[in-house]
Homo-oligomer: A and B are copies of this chain.
Amino acid sequence: MGEADGAAFVTAALVVIGDEVLSGRTKDKNIGHIAERLTEVGIDLREVRIVADVEADIVAAIDGLRHRYTYVFTTGGIGPTHDDITADSVAKAFGVSIDVDPRARAMLLEYIAEKDLNEARLRMARIPAGASLVVNSVSRAPGFRIGNVIVMAGVPRIMQAMLEAVLPELEKGRPMLSRTVLADAREGDIAAPLADIARAFPEAMIGSYPFRDEADGRFKTNLVVRARDPQLLAAAGDAVVAMVAACAVD
Protein backbone atom coordinates (compact mmCIF):
# COMPACT_ATOMS: atom_id res chain seq x y z
CA MET A 1 0.00 0.00 0.00
CA GLY A 2 1.79 3.10 -1.30
CA GLU A 3 5.30 2.28 -0.13
CA ALA A 4 8.07 4.79 -0.65
CA ASP A 5 9.84 2.81 -3.36
CA GLY A 6 6.92 3.46 -5.70
CA ALA A 7 6.76 -0.17 -6.77
CA ALA A 8 3.84 -1.16 -4.56
CA PHE A 9 0.19 -0.29 -5.06
CA VAL A 10 -1.25 3.08 -4.23
CA THR A 11 -4.87 2.63 -3.25
CA ALA A 12 -7.88 4.82 -2.65
CA ALA A 13 -11.46 4.79 -1.46
CA LEU A 14 -14.16 7.34 -2.28
CA VAL A 15 -16.97 8.53 -0.02
CA VAL A 16 -19.86 10.20 -1.86
CA ILE A 17 -21.86 12.29 0.63
CA GLY A 18 -25.42 13.17 -0.23
CA ASP A 19 -29.04 12.33 0.53
CA GLU A 20 -29.91 13.36 -3.04
CA VAL A 21 -27.92 10.46 -4.51
CA LEU A 22 -29.48 7.91 -2.12
CA SER A 23 -33.00 9.17 -2.90
CA GLY A 24 -32.33 8.87 -6.64
CA ARG A 25 -33.10 12.55 -7.24
CA THR A 26 -29.53 13.24 -8.36
CA LYS A 27 -27.70 10.72 -10.54
CA ASP A 28 -24.08 10.71 -9.44
CA LYS A 29 -21.60 11.71 -12.14
CA ASN A 30 -18.49 11.86 -9.97
CA ILE A 31 -17.77 8.18 -9.29
CA GLY A 32 -17.12 7.31 -12.95
CA HIS A 33 -14.89 10.33 -13.48
CA ILE A 34 -12.83 9.77 -10.34
CA ALA A 35 -12.49 6.05 -11.08
CA GLU A 36 -11.20 6.77 -14.57
CA ARG A 37 -8.74 9.50 -13.57
CA LEU A 38 -7.30 7.57 -10.61
CA THR A 39 -6.82 4.48 -12.77
CA GLU A 40 -5.05 6.58 -15.41
CA VAL A 41 -2.54 8.06 -12.98
CA GLY A 42 -1.79 4.82 -11.10
CA ILE A 43 -4.01 4.98 -8.03
CA ASP A 44 -6.24 1.92 -7.56
CA LEU A 45 -9.77 2.79 -6.48
CA ARG A 46 -10.71 -0.15 -4.26
CA GLU A 47 -14.02 0.84 -2.70
CA VAL A 48 -16.75 3.48 -2.94
CA ARG A 49 -19.35 4.30 -0.31
CA ILE A 50 -22.36 6.55 -0.74
CA VAL A 51 -23.64 7.85 2.60
CA ALA A 52 -26.34 10.27 3.77
CA ASP A 53 -25.87 13.81 5.09
CA VAL A 54 -25.63 12.40 8.61
CA GLU A 55 -22.57 13.18 10.72
CA ALA A 56 -22.31 9.74 12.34
CA ASP A 57 -22.50 8.04 8.93
CA ILE A 58 -19.84 10.30 7.40
CA VAL A 59 -17.50 9.85 10.38
CA ALA A 60 -17.99 6.06 10.33
CA ALA A 61 -17.24 5.85 6.60
CA ILE A 62 -14.09 7.98 6.85
CA ASP A 63 -12.82 6.14 9.91
CA GLY A 64 -13.61 2.78 8.34
CA LEU A 65 -11.59 3.60 5.22
CA ARG A 66 -8.71 5.92 6.05
CA HIS A 67 -6.63 3.30 7.82
CA ARG A 68 -7.09 0.79 4.99
CA TYR A 69 -6.23 2.78 1.87
CA THR A 70 -3.47 5.19 0.87
CA TYR A 71 -6.03 7.95 0.20
CA VAL A 72 -9.69 8.60 0.90
CA PHE A 73 -11.49 11.10 -1.35
CA THR A 74 -14.85 12.61 -0.47
CA THR A 75 -17.32 14.51 -2.65
CA GLY A 76 -20.21 16.72 -1.55
CA GLY A 77 -21.41 18.63 1.47
CA ILE A 78 -18.99 21.57 1.49
CA GLY A 79 -21.35 24.35 0.38
CA PRO A 80 -22.88 27.23 2.39
CA THR A 81 -26.17 25.66 3.52
CA HIS A 82 -27.25 23.94 6.73
CA ASP A 83 -27.06 20.48 5.11
CA ASP A 84 -23.36 20.93 4.25
CA ILE A 85 -21.70 19.11 7.15
CA THR A 86 -18.73 17.37 5.57
CA ALA A 87 -16.00 19.70 6.92
CA ASP A 88 -17.32 19.46 10.48
CA SER A 89 -17.67 15.67 10.16
CA VAL A 90 -14.08 15.30 8.93
CA ALA A 91 -12.81 17.48 11.79
CA LYS A 92 -14.69 15.20 14.17
CA ALA A 93 -13.22 12.06 12.56
CA PHE A 94 -9.70 13.48 13.06
CA GLY A 95 -10.46 14.90 16.52
CA VAL A 96 -9.36 18.43 15.56
CA SER A 97 -11.02 21.83 15.85
CA ILE A 98 -12.57 23.67 12.92
CA ASP A 99 -12.96 27.38 12.27
CA VAL A 100 -12.90 29.98 9.50
CA ASP A 101 -9.47 29.71 7.88
CA PRO A 102 -7.94 33.07 6.80
CA ARG A 103 -6.41 31.49 3.66
CA ALA A 104 -9.80 30.09 2.62
CA ARG A 105 -11.53 33.38 3.43
CA ALA A 106 -9.04 35.21 1.17
CA MET A 107 -9.82 32.74 -1.65
CA LEU A 108 -13.54 33.41 -1.28
CA LEU A 109 -12.89 37.16 -1.56
CA GLU A 110 -11.33 36.60 -5.00
CA TYR A 111 -14.80 35.62 -6.19
CA ILE A 112 -17.30 37.17 -3.78
CA ALA A 113 -17.47 40.87 -2.89
CA GLU A 114 -16.79 41.50 0.81
CA LYS A 115 -20.34 42.87 1.29
CA ASP A 116 -21.73 39.52 0.02
CA LEU A 117 -19.50 37.41 2.27
CA ASN A 118 -22.30 36.64 4.71
CA GLU A 119 -22.21 34.12 7.53
CA ALA A 120 -23.52 31.33 5.28
CA ARG A 121 -20.80 31.85 2.67
CA LEU A 122 -18.17 32.04 5.40
CA ARG A 123 -19.13 28.44 6.27
CA MET A 124 -17.29 27.53 3.05
CA ALA A 125 -14.09 28.84 4.66
CA ARG A 126 -14.43 26.56 7.69
CA ILE A 127 -11.43 24.22 7.47
CA PRO A 128 -10.27 21.63 10.05
CA ALA A 129 -7.11 22.64 11.93
CA GLY A 130 -3.97 21.35 10.24
CA ALA A 131 -5.53 20.81 6.81
CA SER A 132 -3.98 22.09 3.59
CA LEU A 133 -6.26 23.68 1.01
CA VAL A 134 -7.20 22.27 -2.39
CA VAL A 135 -7.57 25.07 -4.94
CA ASN A 136 -10.92 25.52 -6.70
CA SER A 137 -10.27 27.27 -10.01
CA VAL A 138 -14.00 27.41 -10.83
CA SER A 139 -15.66 29.18 -7.89
CA ARG A 140 -12.77 29.63 -5.41
CA ALA A 141 -14.34 28.04 -2.27
CA PRO A 142 -11.58 25.49 -1.62
CA GLY A 143 -11.53 21.82 -0.78
CA PHE A 144 -8.96 20.56 1.69
CA ARG A 145 -6.69 17.72 2.62
CA ILE A 146 -6.09 16.46 6.15
CA GLY A 147 -3.90 13.41 6.68
CA ASN A 148 -4.74 11.08 3.81
CA VAL A 149 -8.31 12.40 3.37
CA ILE A 150 -9.05 14.74 0.45
CA VAL A 151 -12.34 16.64 0.64
CA MET A 152 -13.85 17.89 -2.63
CA ALA A 153 -17.05 19.56 -3.82
CA GLY A 154 -20.04 17.63 -5.19
CA VAL A 155 -20.74 19.81 -8.25
CA PRO A 156 -18.98 17.84 -11.02
CA ARG A 157 -17.21 20.79 -12.70
CA ILE A 158 -15.82 21.99 -9.37
CA MET A 159 -14.92 18.47 -8.19
CA GLN A 160 -13.01 17.84 -11.42
CA ALA A 161 -11.01 21.06 -11.00
CA MET A 162 -10.15 20.12 -7.40
CA LEU A 163 -9.10 16.61 -8.41
CA GLU A 164 -6.72 17.98 -11.04
CA ALA A 165 -5.36 20.44 -8.47
CA VAL A 166 -4.57 17.74 -5.91
CA LEU A 167 -3.42 14.86 -8.15
CA PRO A 168 0.12 16.24 -8.76
CA GLU A 169 0.75 16.17 -4.99
CA LEU A 170 -0.20 12.52 -4.54
CA GLU A 171 1.88 9.40 -4.54
CA LYS A 172 1.20 7.14 -7.53
CA GLY A 173 1.84 3.51 -8.35
CA ARG A 174 2.46 1.81 -11.65
CA PRO A 175 -0.74 2.37 -13.66
CA MET A 176 -2.99 -0.57 -14.41
CA LEU A 177 -3.12 -1.07 -18.18
CA SER A 178 -6.02 -2.67 -19.99
CA ARG A 179 -6.87 -4.17 -23.34
CA THR A 180 -10.40 -4.95 -24.52
CA VAL A 181 -11.19 -7.77 -26.93
CA LEU A 182 -14.66 -7.93 -28.44
CA ALA A 183 -16.05 -11.44 -28.82
CA ASP A 184 -19.00 -11.98 -31.12
CA ALA A 185 -20.14 -14.73 -28.78
CA ARG A 186 -22.30 -15.26 -25.73
CA GLU A 187 -20.45 -15.26 -22.43
CA GLY A 188 -21.46 -18.84 -21.67
CA ASP A 189 -19.89 -20.13 -24.91
CA ILE A 190 -16.42 -18.77 -24.13
CA ALA A 191 -16.41 -19.03 -20.34
CA ALA A 192 -14.46 -22.30 -20.19
CA PRO A 193 -11.53 -21.31 -22.47
CA LEU A 194 -11.51 -17.88 -20.82
CA ALA A 195 -11.14 -19.49 -17.39
CA ASP A 196 -8.20 -21.50 -18.77
CA ILE A 197 -6.50 -18.27 -19.83
CA ALA A 198 -7.21 -16.69 -16.43
CA ARG A 199 -5.51 -19.70 -14.80
CA ALA A 200 -2.54 -19.48 -17.19
CA PHE A 201 -2.02 -15.78 -16.39
CA PRO A 202 -2.78 -15.52 -12.65
CA GLU A 203 -1.11 -12.10 -12.39
CA ALA A 204 -3.42 -10.59 -15.01
CA MET A 205 -7.06 -9.76 -14.27
CA ILE A 206 -9.51 -10.92 -16.88
CA GLY A 207 -13.10 -9.66 -16.84
CA SER A 208 -16.03 -10.62 -19.02
CA TYR A 209 -18.84 -8.12 -19.75
CA PRO A 210 -21.80 -9.32 -21.80
CA PHE A 211 -24.03 -6.91 -23.70
CA ARG A 212 -26.63 -6.89 -26.43
CA ASP A 213 -25.43 -5.16 -29.59
CA GLU A 214 -28.29 -2.85 -30.51
CA ALA A 215 -27.04 -2.69 -34.12
CA ASP A 216 -27.63 -6.36 -34.91
CA GLY A 217 -29.51 -7.57 -31.83
CA ARG A 218 -26.82 -10.15 -31.06
CA PHE A 219 -25.46 -10.90 -27.61
CA LYS A 220 -21.73 -10.23 -27.51
CA THR A 221 -19.06 -10.05 -24.83
CA ASN A 222 -16.30 -7.58 -24.07
CA LEU A 223 -13.29 -9.32 -22.60
CA VAL A 224 -11.06 -6.97 -20.65
CA VAL A 225 -7.52 -7.93 -19.70
CA ARG A 226 -5.79 -5.81 -17.08
CA ALA A 227 -2.17 -5.86 -15.89
CA ARG A 228 0.52 -3.40 -14.82
CA ASP A 229 3.23 -5.08 -16.89
CA PRO A 230 2.90 -4.30 -20.64
CA GLN A 231 4.47 -7.63 -21.62
CA LEU A 232 2.07 -9.58 -19.44
CA LEU A 233 -0.82 -7.54 -20.85
CA ALA A 234 0.31 -8.33 -24.41
CA ALA A 235 0.72 -12.05 -23.72
CA ALA A 236 -2.60 -12.50 -21.92
CA GLY A 237 -4.37 -10.26 -24.44
CA ASP A 238 -2.95 -12.26 -27.37
CA ALA A 239 -4.17 -15.46 -25.72
CA VAL A 240 -7.68 -13.99 -25.50
CA VAL A 241 -7.57 -12.86 -29.14
CA ALA A 242 -6.49 -16.35 -30.23
CA MET A 243 -9.21 -17.98 -28.12
CA VAL A 244 -11.91 -15.71 -29.60
CA ALA A 245 -10.67 -16.46 -33.15
CA ALA A 246 -10.69 -20.22 -32.45
CA CYS A 247 -14.24 -20.05 -31.07
CA ALA A 248 -15.42 -18.10 -34.15
CA VAL A 249 -14.04 -20.85 -36.43
CA ASP A 250 -15.89 -23.55 -34.50
Q: Measuring CB to CB, which residues of chain A are less than 8 angstroms from any residue of chain B?
A: 16, 19-28, 31-39, 44-53, 57, 79-83, 112, 116, 118-121, 123-124, 155, 157, 176, 178, 187-189, 191-192, 194-195, 198, 205-212, 224, 226
Contact = CB atoms under 8 A, between A and B. Distances in A.
B28 A31 contact: yes
A230 B6 CA distance: 57
Output the residue of A47, A51, A192, A207 with the most chain B CB within 10 A. Answer: A207
A211 B23 contact: no
Contact of A49 (B28, B49, B118, B121): B49
A209 B119 CA distance: 18
Q: Give the oligomeric copy count.
A: 2
Contacts of A206: 82-83
Nearest to A123: B191
30 contacts: A19-B205, A20-B207, A20-B224, A21-B31, A21-B48, A22-B35, A22-B44, A22-B45, A23-B176, A24-B45, A25-B178, A28-B31, A46-B52, A46-B57, A47-B50, A47-B51, A47-B52, A47-B57, A48-B48, A49-B50, A53-B207, A79-B187, A80-B188, A81-B195, A83-B206, A116-B188, A118-B191, A120-B187, A121-B191, A124-B188
Q: Which 9 A-B pairs have the closest CB atoms?
A: A24-B36, A120-B191, A24-B35, A48-B50, A81-B208, A121-B188, A82-B195, A27-B32, A80-B188
Nearest to A192: B120
Nearest to A108: B188
